[in-house]
Chain A
Amino acid sequence: MTTTQPRTDPSSGTSGPTLRERWAEGSRWWNARSRPQQWGLLVPVVVLIYFLPVINPPIITTEPATDFSIALFNASVFALIAIGLNVVIGQAGLLDLGYVGFFAIGAYTAAVLSSPDSELGVRFPWLVIVPIAMVITMISGVILGTPTLRLRGDYLAIVTLGFGELVRLLADNIDPLRGNRGFQNIARPGGTYPDGTPIFTQNDAQGFYWLSVTIIVIVLLFMGNLERSRVGRAWIAVREDEDAAELTGVPTYRFKIWAFAIGAAVGGLSGTLFAAQVGFVNNQRFDVTTSILYLAAVVLGGQGNKVGVIVGAFLVSYIPDRFQFEPEYRFLIFGLALIILMIFRPQGLLGMRQHLLTYGREAYQRLFGAGTGVAPTGLTASSRGRGDAVETTPDDHAGTSPRGGGE
């Protein structure tokens, strides 16, 4: 049904389409579909994801060692974090090594606003906590971003690493945050099954899993809108070449702050989800290693690819849980998996992939006729992301000091 592009050479007949060509062909077909059609085709996949804990498939399940719905819930929270971090790293290209700070702020907000241990003595319902937590993390994202976003590349990474550590250490030392003792029975969303048992409990994480998958679908829709707009284009432009973006009229500083704020909000949201399910928050989990694990999920999945980072997040959260039965070796296996995966798929499993035009499909089809799709960028790592050898030396006239231009 697809009309080949007028100028691509006909695929070589002899060896038959290689895997890469078949993948590109499939992607071209997929991209020719309109966005509602794409979502329509995805429904069966989403339904399967919803029922995963119920089916409890034999090999995949982590059952004897860890409860499968809890493992799935942890993976889904990880996926939500990865989507948020993907905005900062995958789209805007800002290397953030302290992202766990926002997750911690979200979790602590939920704890302080609802746990009986908190000195505020209030117990907000969970649905009220989520927007408050997102606003607080957005503000902290802007507070962190405003001074630091003048820095670029590795310097930004180092300052954000410092920020993440500071949040953890402050959680340790500020008495009201109760350091290691932490906060107990944090508010959970209400709602009961028809037979009266509460949906959202600590031991049965199925309800929570469905809630977080629903949130992921909503966040993906919003991210899709942002991607196909001036905002998404500005981010990719900043990632590809910040100076050229500025000199093409993109207010880079403002959009970098927006990227931080949105990433922080999603981080805060996943913090509240985590706090609600476990029902207990203390300072033990918010360290640099966790930040870098989030980074691993984004890089493993393929930076700049919303669906890819979900797959990456699932792997990073699932592998240690899956090898729970082998407690001695699970982190060793995890470390080896990271090294091996990076050697064979440095640009990530699914590679970069984004569509930046709301009416891109119609435009291409108006030019080339119906049924045209655009081969995804997934197959080619962006020029900017290449290793140091091929990096095009920046035009020395437009100096790229760490200070950079912008407001």
Chain B
Amino acid sequence: MVRRRLAAAGALVAAAALVLSGCANQGGGGAAQTSQAPAPAQPNNAALPAGNGQGKCAPGTSIAYVGTLAGQNAALGQAIANATELAVNQHNQANPGCQVTLVKADSGGTPDTAVGPTQAVINNPAVLGIVGLPFSGESKAVGPSLNAAGLVNITPSATNPGLTGNGWTNFFRGLGNDAVQGPAAAKWMKTKFNPQSICVIKDDSDYGIGLANAVTQALGPQVAACQGNVKTNQKEFSATVGQVQQANPQAIFYAGYYTEAAPLVQQLRDAGVQAPFVGPDGVKDEQFVVNAAGSANGAYLTCPCVPQEGFTAFTQAYQQAYGVAPQTYSAEAYDSATILLSGIDKGANSRPALLNYVKTYNGQGLTKKFQWQPNGELSETPVYVYRVDGDKIVTDSPIS
């Protein structure tokens, strides 16, 4: 009796497997970006990896991407690594005289796993500069040894303000930090919603806590009285939903990444909370809209990044090379790599030389004008607000 049932089950499974394998390809994938709001066109004088094609450098010269590839939040790291690789490939095609190799080191995304690979890159004399490390936690851990080695590194995504407070001379941030984005978002929310109360919900990451503190201070204690805490990888938020229902705020600001923001906004909308949902650059990602199952519609997203619709060339090249649209921080990584490559093309053939080049660099990138203060912070950090319209993220307005 059992044998017959097992046989039947086997047949059904085989059929199901056939059906599934047919379509288990990389399904989904967001619709291509179509620009709607009047975004600034791709700045025509933006430096590109190709440079003037006359680059000369010693064979074996290399730059490195140090960041998560297989560890936690790997997708974020992957987007940065891909953009860096795209820049290097474009540079090598355009500059026969200077073939730069890209060294990839998987930091695993956590402070203690980052030490080993970073040290290996430091010990590799051919590496003159680093694009990375994506997260604030691991950057804090390896910062001292990178600084001691005088190896210049531009982070396209770590926004914790504390990183530039350690007196490191080799650390440069490729985007605005929380101390810029926080007050800008708070000011914008005050003007937009004129709120009595805003719920500030933060996750337990460096990024989330830093940004939430900045926003809470800018909003003032009585407006930001309602504070919520969630954990990374948390998927069930009934407590936070209950807290928000209780406070009945005019707006909700979530400080954290999209992996938690999507289920949170979905459960808020399911529970009937209609207050506008505002998220930072960590939430501004294709996946946020897809994962929120339709509840993300009408959400606002602040980001110290210039709208990408403008530079279609980069977007198409990325889509064509990796089959996916560029994600958050891809453009910043592309710019950072371009700056390092242009330094090498202009003859910086040693770490101190490239460090000095970046320190004195003043040029227009895709995302913004790049010029750094001594402590590694950008002098000019534009902040834009975006809006989720249906299943696309569209530009709303600049607010910096």
What residues make up the interface of A, taking CB atoms closer than 8 Å to B?
63-67, 70-71, 74, 172, 179-182, 184-185, 201-203, 205, 274, 277-280, 282, 284-285, 321, 324, 327-328, 330-331
User: Does chain A have a CB within 8 A of B30?
Assistant: no
The distance in angstroms between the C-alpha atoms of A184 and B111, with both chains bound, is: 10
The distance in angstroms between the C-alpha atoms of A278 and B140, with both chains bound, is: 11
**Residues in B whose Cβ lies below 8 Å from that of A205:** 119
- Interface bits B198-224 vs A (CB < 8 Å: 1, else 0): 000000111001000000000000000
**When the two chains form their complex, are residues A278 and B115 in contact, meaning their CB atoms are under 8 A apart?**
yes
**When the two chains form their complex, are residues A203 and B111 in contact, meaning their CB atoms are under 8 A apart?**
no
CB of A166, distance to nearest CB on chain B (Å): 15
The distance in angstroms between the C-alpha atoms of A106 and B140, with both chains bound, is: 21
**When the two chains form their complex, are residues A280 and B111 in contact, meaning their CB atoms are under 8 A apart?**
yes
**When the two chains form their complex, are residues B110 and A284 in contact, meaning their CB atoms are under 8 A apart?**
yes
* B208 nearest CB neighbor, chain A only: A180
User: Chain B CB within 10 Å — which of A179, A279, A328, A330 has the most?
Assistant: A279
**Residues in A whose Cβ lies below 8 Å from that of B140:** 182, 184, 280
* A274 nearest CB neighbor, chain B only: B112
**When the two chains form their complex, are residues B112 and A278 in contact, meaning their CB atoms are under 8 A apart?**
yes
The distance in angstroms between the C-alpha atoms of A296 and B283, with both chains bound, is: 38
Among B144-152, B320-328, B368-376, B381-389, the stretch that binds chain A is B144-152
A203 in contact with B122 given A66-B117, A180-B205 (CB within 8 Å): yes
**Residues in B whose Cβ lies below 8 Å from that of A331:** 70
* B141 nearest CB neighbor, chain A only: A280
**Residues in A whose Cβ lies below 8 Å from that of B72:** 284
**Residues in A whose Cβ lies below 8 Å from that of B142:** 202
A74 in contact with B209 given A65-B105, A184-B140, A284-B111 (CB within 8 Å): no
**When the two chains form their complex, are residues B206 and A180 in contact, meaning their CB atoms are under 8 A apart?**
yes
**When the two chains form their complex, are residues B123 and A182 in contact, meaning their CB atoms are under 8 A apart?**
no
The distance in angstroms between the C-alpha atoms of A205 and B123, with both chains bound, is: 13
User: Does chain A have a CB within 8 A of B54?
Assistant: no
**When the two chains form their complex, are residues B145 and A201 in contact, meaning their CB atoms are under 8 A apart?**
yes
Contact of B204 among A64, A179, A285 (CB under 8 A): A179
Contact of B120 among A65, A74, A182, A285 (CB under 8 A): A65
| Complex A-B: 22 CB contacts under 8 Å | A63-B120, A66-B116, A66-B119, A66-B120, A67-B116, A67-B120, A70-B116, A172-B204, A179-B204, A180-B232, A181-B209, A182-B111, A182-B140, A202-B115, A202-B142, A278-B111, A278-B112, A278-B141, A280-B140, A282-B137, A284-B72, A328-B69
* B116 nearest CB neighbor, chain A only: A66
A67 in contact with B123 given A321-B116, A324-B117 (CB within 8 Å): yes
**Residues in B whose Cβ lies below 8 Å from that of A278:** 111-112, 115, 141
**Residues in B whose Cβ lies below 8 Å from that of A63:** 120
**When the two chains form their complex, are residues B116 and A324 in contact, meaning their CB atoms are under 8 A apart?**
yes
Q: Count of B residues near A, CB < 8 Å? A: 30
Contact of A181 among B112, B117, B137 (CB under 8 A): B137
**When the two chains form their complex, are residues B117 and A65 in contact, meaning their CB atoms are under 8 A apart?**
yes
**Residues in A whose Cβ lies below 8 Å from that of B235:** none
CB of A122, distance to nearest CB on chain B (Å): 20
The distance in angstroms between the C-alpha atoms of A327 and B117, with both chains bound, is: 11
Contact of B119 among A70, A279, A285 (CB under 8 A): A70
The distance in angstroms between the C-alpha atoms of A70 and B105, with both chains bound, is: 15
The distance in angstroms between the C-alpha atoms of A274 and B115, with both chains bound, is: 12
User: Chain A CB within 10 Å — which of B120, B142, B209 has the most?
Assistant: B120
A282 in contact with B116 given A65-B105, A181-B206, A330-B70 (CB within 8 Å): no
What residues make up the interface of B, taking CB atoms closer than 8 Å to A?
69-70, 72, 105-106, 110-112, 115-117, 119-120, 122-124, 137, 140-142, 144-145, 148-149, 204-206, 209, 231-232
* A278 nearest CB neighbor, chain B only: B112
6 further interface pairs, Cβ-Cβ under 8 Å (given A64-B120, A64-B124, A282-B111): A66-B116, A74-B116, A180-B137, A182-B111, A280-B111, A284-B72
Contact of B70 among A185, A284, A285, A328 (CB under 8 A): A328
**Residues in B whose Cβ lies below 8 Å from that of A203:** 119, 122, 145, 148-149
The distance in angstroms between the C-alpha atoms of A278 and B119, with both chains bound, is: 12
**Residues in A whose Cβ lies below 8 Å from that of B111:** 182, 278, 280, 282, 284
* A280 nearest CB neighbor, chain B only: B141
CB of A164, distance to nearest CB on chain B (Å): 17
**When the two chains form their complex, are residues B116 and A71 in contact, meaning their CB atoms are under 8 A apart?**
yes
The distance in angstroms between the C-alpha atoms of A141 and B330, with both chains bound, is: 48
Contact of A172 among B117, B120, B231 (CB under 8 A): B231
**Residues in B whose Cβ lies below 8 Å from that of A66:** 116-117, 119-120
**When the two chains form their complex, are residues A324 and B106 in contact, meaning their CB atoms are under 8 A apart?**
yes
**Residues in B whose Cβ lies below 8 Å from that of A172:** 204, 231
**When the two chains form their complex, are residues B231 and A182 in contact, meaning their CB atoms are under 8 A apart?**
no
**Residues in B whose Cβ lies below 8 Å from that of A181:** 137, 206, 209
**When the two chains form their complex, are residues A70 and B231 in contact, meaning their CB atoms are under 8 A apart?**
no
CB of A405, distance to nearest CB on chain B (Å): 42
The distance in angstroms between the C-alpha atoms of A205 and B72, with both chains bound, is: 25
CB of B243, distance to nearest CB on chain A (Å): 16
The distance in angstroms between the C-alpha atoms of A333 and B116, with both chains bound, is: 19
**When the two chains form their complex, are residues A182 and B144 in contact, meaning their CB atoms are under 8 A apart?**
no
The 7 closest A-B pairs by CB, nearest first: A327-B106, A67-B119, A203-B145, A66-B116, A280-B141, A327-B70, A70-B116
**Residues in A whose Cβ lies below 8 Å from that of B105:** 65
CB of A231, distance to nearest CB on chain B (Å): 34
CB of A70, distance to nearest CB on chain B (Å): 4
**Residues in B whose Cβ lies below 8 Å from that of A67:** 116-117, 119-120, 123
CB of A43, distance to nearest CB on chain B (Å): 30
**Residues in A whose Cβ lies below 8 Å from that of B141:** 184, 278-280
The distance in angstroms between the C-alpha atoms of A330 and B124, with both chains bound, is: 22
**When the two chains form their complex, are residues B110 and A285 in contact, meaning their CB atoms are under 8 A apart?**
yes
The distance in angstroms between the C-alpha atoms of A74 and B117, with both chains bound, is: 13
**Residues in B whose Cβ lies below 8 Å from that of A70:** 115-116, 119
The distance in angstroms between the C-alpha atoms of A203 and B150, with both chains bound, is: 13
CB of A127, distance to nearest CB on chain B (Å): 21
**When the two chains form their complex, are residues A180 and B209 in contact, meaning their CB atoms are under 8 A apart?**
yes
User: Chain B CB within 10 Å — which of A282, A285, A321 has the most?
Assistant: A282
The distance in angstroms between the C-alpha atoms of A278 and B113, with both chains bound, is: 9
**When the two chains form their complex, are residues A202 and B145 in contact, meaning their CB atoms are under 8 A apart?**
yes
The distance in angstroms between the C-alpha atoms of A198 and B242, with both chains bound, is: 54
Contact of B112 among A71, A280, A321 (CB under 8 A): A280
CB of A404, distance to nearest CB on chain B (Å): 37
**Residues in B whose Cβ lies below 8 Å from that of A185:** 144
* B203 nearest CB neighbor, chain A only: A180
**Residues in A whose Cβ lies below 8 Å from that of B149:** 203
**Residues in A whose Cβ lies below 8 Å from that of B115:** 70, 202, 277-278
**When the two chains form their complex, are residues B144 and A279 in contact, meaning their CB atoms are under 8 A apart?**
yes
CB of B117, distance to nearest CB on chain A (Å): 6
The distance in angstroms between the C-alpha atoms of A330 and B70, with both chains bound, is: 9
The distance in angstroms between the C-alpha atoms of A321 and B209, with both chains bound, is: 32
**Residues in B whose Cβ lies below 8 Å from that of A179:** 204
**Residues in A whose Cβ lies below 8 Å from that of B112:** 274, 278, 280, 284-285
The distance in angstroms between the C-alpha atoms of A249 and B284, with both chains bound, is: 68
* B121 nearest CB neighbor, chain A only: A67
**Residues in A whose Cβ lies below 8 Å from that of B148:** 201, 203
**When the two chains form their complex, are residues A182 and B137 in contact, meaning their CB atoms are under 8 A apart?**
yes
